Amino acid sequence: MSVLSLSKLNVSYKSSQGKIQIIDELELQVNSGEIVALFGPSGGGKSTVLKAIAGLLDNVSGDIIIGGKQALGINSRGNTSINIATEDRKIGLIFQDYALFPHLTVAQNVAFGLDKLSRSARKAKVDSLLELIKMVEYSDRYPHELSGGQQQRIAIVRALACEPELLLFDESFSNIDPQFRFELISDIRALLKQHNIAALFVTHNQDEAFAFCDRIAVLNKGKIEQIDCPERLFNYPQTRFVAEFLGQGLWLRCKVASANVLLSELGEISYAGDKDLFSSMSLKVEGEVDVYIRPHQLKLTLSNDFPIVVTNERFAGEFYESQVQWLGQVIVVKTQNSFLNQSVKIEINTAVWSVFPVVKSPI
Ligand code: ADP
Ligand code: MG
């Protein structure tokens, strides 16, 4: 069952030049207990989608259904438009800056939305929520006495206190020290999974999206380009934008030699990835395609026959990033050794690559 369903969502802002459309006919579903990322470049409209779901914007049209209840749209008889207020949408919002009330203690912050409960029920609920994040002993502290990670844990359980159908996270981990960030992400993921809570997580950070989410929707210029689990998104990008946004790589123009073999400037490459996906591309033998190869899928060996020199390198601890200039592109290869200023041969070290139709350059 879907906890969130967005259909034909359009959002625009008014400016001095008139209306600017930011989100264009967006479709998205988040299933029960699922954590989905809305991932894309800055300015792509991610926070706008989140604010529209939360009911914080004017100029939103389309259908928003949260927990089976229409939050925006037309009623089932088709005669009344519905636009439920933010506080009635059963969502919990968690922002980047924790947004705790500075003058309230941890316990008072968590209890904030629980004024309908009796005093004792409220205390029991706050204790059980703090127990979930192992912070009961911090009940009487104030936000400024906590680390960023602790404040964010409190912000999350405060959002959980009202038993929302859906949690909405906007770049919520980006202010946490990198050293603790992935520990926090993994704890919060475990907490949500344990309690079967669905979430939509807005981020421009790929590592965070991969660590936190079951599926990732790539948002570019107001449209979702692809939605898939992290592994499929990385290995089988469906558009050039998704391929490039998920990491640098080398574009290689190839000739189709046979059903699963291509000829490139780096030699023959044969495909051993998802056969159905590959055959759906109906490659024409003798035709041309573009293949995208990532740095870890290339290999360098010392060679004087292939006149390429490593002109630059970056030591990254567990590997080197060696750079070579070739066919007008700067190619990055992950290597175990330093090849700086040496002549090398480049080889393709994978049988799973992404292939795209050749884009004709504009005349
Ligand atoms: P993201 O979260 O992906 O970085 P946003 O949703 O914040 O992107 O913004 C998408 C676009 O909408 C940007 O071009 C931004 O400048 C514009 N925008 C955001 N908020 C407003 C606003 N209140 N009024 C006008 N334009 C806005
Ligand atoms: Mg944003």
265-308: per-residue pLDDT in tens? 889 998 888 888 777 777 788 889 999 999 999 999 999 887 79
Render the burial of 178-192: b for 16+ CB within 10 Å, e for the rest: eebbeebbebbbebb
Q: What is the secondary structure of 140-178 as a DSSP string?
A: T--GGGS-HHHHHHHHHHHHHHT--SEEEEESTTTTS-H
Q: What is the largest CA-CA distance in the chain?
A: 81
Question: How far apart, in whole angstroms, are the C-alpha atoms of residue 350 and residue 298?
Answer: 8
Residue 150: what pLDDT? 93
Cα–Cα distance measured from residue 26 to residue 62, given in angstroms and rounded to the nearest whole number? 9
CA distances from 161 to 67, 107, 287, 313 (A): 17, 11, 59, 50
The DSSP element (H or E) to which 106 belongs, if any, is helix 106-111
Calculate ∠ Cα 251-254-255, nearest 5°: 165
Mean pLDDT of 338-344: 95
Write the burial class of residue 20 (CB in 10 Å: 0-12 exposed, 13-18 middle, 19+ buried).
exposed
Q: How far is the CA of 22 from the centre of ligand 1 (A)?
A: 7
Burial class (CB within 10 angstroms; exposed 0-12, middle 13-18, buried 19+) of 96: middle
Q: Is 181 in the pocket of ligand 1 (CB under 6 A)?
A: no
What is the predicted pLDDT for the residue at 214? Answer: 98
Residue 114 CA to its chain's centroid (Å): 32
Residues bordering ligand 2, an ion, CB closer than 5 Å: 47
Whether 250 has a pLDDT exceeding 80, the answer reads: yes
Place 361 in a pLDDT band, splitting at 50, 70 and 90: low
Residue 307: exposure state from Cβ atoms within 10 A (0-12, 13-18, ≥19): exposed
- Give per-residue pLDDT as tens, 220-237: 999 999 999 999 999 999
**Quick one: tokens of 100?**
């705790």
Measuring CA to CA, how many Å separate 96 from each of 57, 148, 153, 173, 265? Answer: 19, 10, 12, 6, 46
pLDDT tens digit sequence for 75-123: 777 778 999 999 999 999 998 887 899 999 999 999 998 988 899 999 9
Whose Cα sits closest to atom 20 in ligand 1?
48
The whole-number pLDDT of residue 153 equals: 92
For the Cβ of 42 lying below 6 angstroms from any atom of ligand 1, the answer is yes
**Residues 38, 202: contact at Cβ < 8 Å?**
yes
SS3 212: helix
Helices 178-194 and 148-161 sit at what angle, rounded to 10 degrees?
A: 20
pTM over 0.85: yes
Per residue in 116-149, pLDDT (tens digit) is 889 999 999 999 999 988 899 999 999 999 999 8
Question: Which of 177-181, 211-215, 267-271, 305-309 holds the top average pLDDT?
Answer: 211-215
Residues β-bridged to residue 38:
202, 217
CA of 47 to the centre of ligand 1 (A): 7
Specify the pLDDT at position 357: 86
Q: What angle do CA 45, 47, 52 make, to 5 degrees?
A: 95
Q: How confident is the model at residue 324 (pLDDT cuts 50, 70, 90)?
A: very high
Instruction: Please state, in angstroms and rounded to a whole number, the distance separating the CA atoms of residues 301 and 335.
Output: 10
Q: Which pLDDT band, with edges at 50, 70 and 90, does 362 fall under?
A: low
Least confident of 2-16, 214-228, 303-317: 303-317
pLDDT at 43 over 80: yes
Contact 170, 95 (CB under 8 A): yes
Residue 79 Cβ < 6 Å to ligand 1: no
Closest CA to 141 of 105, 102, 99, 109: 105
Q: Which sign does the torsion angle of CA 73, 75, 76, 77 carry?
A: negative
Q: Report how far residue 42's alpha carbon sits from residue 202's, in angstroms, rounded to the nearest whole number.
A: 11
Of 113 and 186, the structure prediction assigns the larger pLDDT to: 186
Strand 91-94, strand 166-170: pairing: parallel
Q: How far is the CA of 60 from the centre of ligand 2 (A)?
A: 17
Tokens of 331: 């190619």
Ligand nearest to the CA of 45: 1
